[in-house]
Amino acid sequence: FMALSCIGPLALGPIMSMGLRDSPYYDMAIYFYLHFQYNGWFTMAVLGLFFQLLEDRRLAYSRQRANLIYILMVAGIIFTLPLSFLGIYDETVLRVVGFAGAVCQLVAGFLMLEILFLKRGLVTGIDSGWVRILFLVALCSWLLKMGLQLISAMPFAFGYAFLSRDAIIMYLHLVFLGFATCFILGMLVYGRLLMVKSGLAHLGLFFIVAGILFTEMAIGLKAIPTILSPPVFQWLNLIIFLASVLLLAGILLIIFFAFMASRQDSKAGLST
């Protein structure tokens, strides 16, 4: 999927050389790239890490069920590509194909929940509360992301899903920050590549999770301007700014008090 997404940027050169910079083809090439990046490459990489985690913890699972999840996810990723083009071509066939792809992904999500329910030892056997929190945020973000894809295929959601810049940003942040980032952070803490021992390291993770949640809520509210007044918009912009500061502070705290701590521990272990 990462290799496939490269077709989008590669197509920009010929599109611009043919004088089609302001045509729908330019936007379609960008949407093609983004779709196979966050819905394809990022999502499948995270799911691959999840199943590797099950195997590392020696938690048996149904290979047949896992293969079904894989097939549904691949089909869903391919079939939901037309949803990225609805803002350019509002065609019924695009909605039908995109809706089918979103349903495939939701079914895969419910099958994944079944595996998680059966393998509760994956969570109960992890001694770090932060790993559980980060995995939970990633799971909720993934399910919400797939639900939003399904809603975006509905005619009543067309204006919000494709004409609202805030709705698009909220969706991208949901995938990049809520799903991929939180899961990878959870894996880093679980693998002790981030040592969350000091209070400042805990505070850093708290800032990151809080920043993600506040930015998502604020940007999500900005995507529905019909129910908001101008003063509320100003407050939402302030919340987004403060949440961004929280994210930056959390990243710096994690670098200096979790990542560097893990490096010092590993060096101490090698010296002994």
The alpha carbon of 28 is separated from its chain's Cα centroid by a whole number of angstroms, namely: 21
Average pLDDT of the residues in 4-12: 94
Give tens-digit pLDDT for 67-126. 999 999 999 999 999 888 876 766 778 888 989 999 999 999 999 888 877 766 565 556
For the ranges 4-13, 70-79, 204-213, 255-264, which has the lowest average pLDDT? Answer: 255-264
Q: Rounded CA gap, 79 and 61, in Å?
A: 27
Q: Retrieve residue 190's tokens.
A: 């679980």
Confidence of residue 137 (pLDDT cuts 50, 70, 90): very high
* pLDDT at position 53: 85
pTM, rounded to two decimals:
0.84
Q: Retrieve residue 185's tokens.
A: 């952070």
Q: Rounded CA gap, 269 and 243, in Å?
A: 37
Give tens-digit pLDDT for 183-222. 999 999 888 888 888 889 899 999 999 999 999 998 888 8
DSSP string, 23-70: SHHHHHHHHHHHIIIIIIIIHHHHHHHHHHHHHHTT----HHHHHHHH
Whether 113 and 105 have beta carbons less than 8 Å apart is answered as no
* pLDDT at position 237: 86
Q: Which of 169, 43, 50, 168 is nearest to 101 (CA)?
A: 43
* pLDDT at position 203: 94
Q: Rounded CA gap, 145 and 182, in Å?
A: 14
